[in-house]
A and B are shown apart, each in its own frame.
Chain A
Amino acid sequence: MQKKNKKKIIISDATLRDGNHAIKHQINRAQLNIYCKAAERAGVDIVEVGHGNGIGASSIQVGLSNLADTKMLEICRKILKKTKLGIHVIPGFATKNDIDNAINIGVDVFRIASHCTEADITQKHIEYIRKKNKMVLGVLMMSHMVNKNVLYDQAKKMKQYGADGLVLMDSAGAYLPSDVKEKVSYLSRKLKKFPIGFHAHNNLGLAIANSVEAVNSGASMIDGCARGFGAGAGNTQIEVLIAVFNKLKIRTNVDLYKILDCGDIAEKFLVKSIPSISSTSVVSGLSGVFSGFIKHVIKHSEKHKVNPRDVFFELGKRNAVAGQEDLILDVVKNLKKSKQNFIY
């Protein structure tokens, strides 16, 4: 079924957005500068920039940014020429004011995201950006939680609002390649000419395999991060992705050597510790909990001396969605209480 050589796959680089999760949203001016230059040189199609949960998300709840959204975007805007500047927008965190700021700065691509069942909260924002004639993609986060029919209904809504395409996010790193095949091929078949993207996390070591599967199933946009620099166990490692795509003769605009440079630059200047699949990340993926939770889970678990694995499974049981970081403290405190009850 593979349609090789047909159309170039659009590569969206989330290093400066998802990677921000890995350093508690502390990315600085110099890092933005150096990485944007490298990504532009490599021919990446879109560079996504901002707080880990997108614009307007700097908060105690998720983590306070080092730089204001507008600052980050201005810095990158000055550098990016051919490469498009993109942002992640979650209604409920971000408002029209944030979108207006981004439009004024000159953001090119708006990715309007909701939990995988809540597409209708993106209606106003997608329609607004459509009217402003900017590229707008609908994003369904935590998409492992529902089946292909639900995803299709939600995607249809985003299409109706005026989105130019849809990105499925495996925000928890919980997909298996068979899940990708089932969902992506169903959506691309049903939605015909509507471009589909896929955003993977590596909790179960499957980010590259899932991204390849997505392309083989009809996806035309793939997200990646240099050195996999992203929330939790990290994302699809973009330089490996390009290498694998080259081997499979899947075409992109990205230059292999220069994207390898991006990886080295990220390692040298951005990454504190290279994302690896820690035991806790594995459990995070298994329990289907948002990857961005891991730093908060570890912090609260250490303080209250509970097992972070138990915390993840409990969060999974409670169906936590992205943005519900405040639930972690509640779960940790309850686990601690029940542990004490057990001892006495």
Chain B
Amino acid sequence: MKKIRVAIFGTGNIGTDLLVKIFRSKYLECNLFSGRSFLSLGLKKFRAEKLKNKRKYRNLILSDKGVNALVKNSNNFDLIFDCTSAKLHKKNFKLFRKLKKKIINLTPTDDGYMCIPVLNLEECNKSIELNMVSCGAQSSVPVAFTMSKIFKKRVQYIETTSTISSKSAGPATRLNLDEYIYSTQRAINYFARVNKCKAILNLNPAFPHINMETTTYAKIKGKKVSKSELNRFKKLLKSIISKLRKYVRGHKIIVEPTLIDDVLVVKTKTIGAGDYLPSYAGNLDIINCAAVAAGEYYAKKK
């Protein structure tokens, strides 16, 4: 099978980790890795790798010309992973449209069809632009979705808190906490069909670095949650998480669904694959794994 050729735009933590992942993919091939400076860690790393292993990287163009490199090399790829920032995405997305390329958007903006691969790959595949929302959304939305699937309109409110290691939060993440919160809440609204929800993000500097952990709560009104309902919830959640684990292997439940009064709690943990940043950066891993899953699905259907 012929691989789909892609470009990665943005050479920070996200872009660089994505590139490592794509070199493992059976369905995707990265031909262009474009950033702003050869001093960026991502470009530096792959410039050195390319010198070491010319054969493996023979098709990979490295550039510090940013978006201009995308225009210049537009015949070399069909799909763009945008790993820059919200600001740059807003600036460039019209140009992406002009290039007539499929876009997978990893910046915290509202643009594109929200994609949580375990829930809606098929549905969003037709869209020209996919939005990977946030790391917190990739881990909490499957749980929130399951809550609303079982308890339907009785779900009054959903809340999610993610804690990530400080080391894994780069400068863009730190400047975009508000955008992270808005987009995560938007995804919960949309997928779990609740009007009221809240997203919280903590950074923890502990050493050794902690793994990403996400707790999702649902306030359930009406009659008390019965044992059989809770079991049905556990069963459905288990099947959804095991599907999710097909593309994020380090993801698991660490506090089983627990009922505290009228609040249902589930806590999950994501250990990263350790591709670019070490395994504590599960937050990076989960959004990139989701982006790769979306890209591969597109490649398979094309």
Contacts and interface: CB of A to CB of B under 8 A. Distances in A.
The yes or no verdict on A and B being binding partners is: yes
Interface in A45-97: 59-61, 91-93, 95-97
B217 to A, nearest CB: 4
A61 B200 CA distance: 9
A123 interface: yes
Interface in B153-210: 157, 159, 161, 163, 166, 171, 174-175, 177-178, 181-182, 198, 200-206, 210
B204 A60 contact: no
A93 B180 CA distance: 11
Given A60-B217, A93-B200, A330-B255, A121 B174 contact: yes
B251 interface: no
16 contacts: A59-B200, A60-B157, A60-B159, A61-B215, A91-B177, A95-B182, A115-B202, A115-B204, A118-B166, A124-B175, A318-B206, A321-B203, A324-B204, A326-B267, A327-B163, A327-B213
B198 A59 contact: yes
Interface in A22-40: none
Given A59-B198, A61-B159, 8 more contacts: A61-B200, A96-B178, A118-B174, A118-B205, A124-B177, A319-B205, A321-B204, A330-B213
B128 interface: no
Nearest to B201: A92
B217 A61 contact: yes
A92 B202 CA distance: 6
A91 B169 CA distance: 14
Contacts of B71: none
A209 interface: no
Residue of A61, A92, A319 with most partner-chain B CB within 10 A? A92
B4 interface: no
B202 A323 contact: yes
Contact of A92 (B171, B177, B206): B177
Interface size on A, as a range, is: 20 to 34
Nearest to B178: A95
Contacts of B267: 326, 329-330
Given A96-B178, A120-B171, A121-B177, A333 B203 contact: no
Contact of B205 (A92, A95, A117, A318): A117
A119 B201 CA distance: 15
B177 to A, nearest CB: 5
A95 B186 CA distance: 14
Interface of A: 59-61, 91-93, 95-97, 115, 117-118, 120-121, 123-124, 318-321, 323-324, 326-327, 329-330, 333
Contacts of A61: 159, 161, 200, 215, 217
Contacts of B174: 118, 120-121, 123
B274 to A, nearest CB: 22
Contacts of B201: 92
Interface in B195-248: 198, 200-206, 210, 213, 215, 217, 219
A117 B219 CA distance: 33
A60 B202 contact: no
A303 to B, nearest CB: 8
B144 to A, nearest CB: 13
B203 A115 contact: yes
A327 B204 CA distance: 12
A329 B258 contact: yes
B133 interface: no
Contacts of A59: 159, 161, 198, 200
Contact of B219 (A60, A318, A320, A330): A60
B197 to A, nearest CB: 10
B118 interface: no
A324 to B, nearest CB: 6
Nearest to B218: A60
B223 to A, nearest CB: 20
A95 B198 CA distance: 11
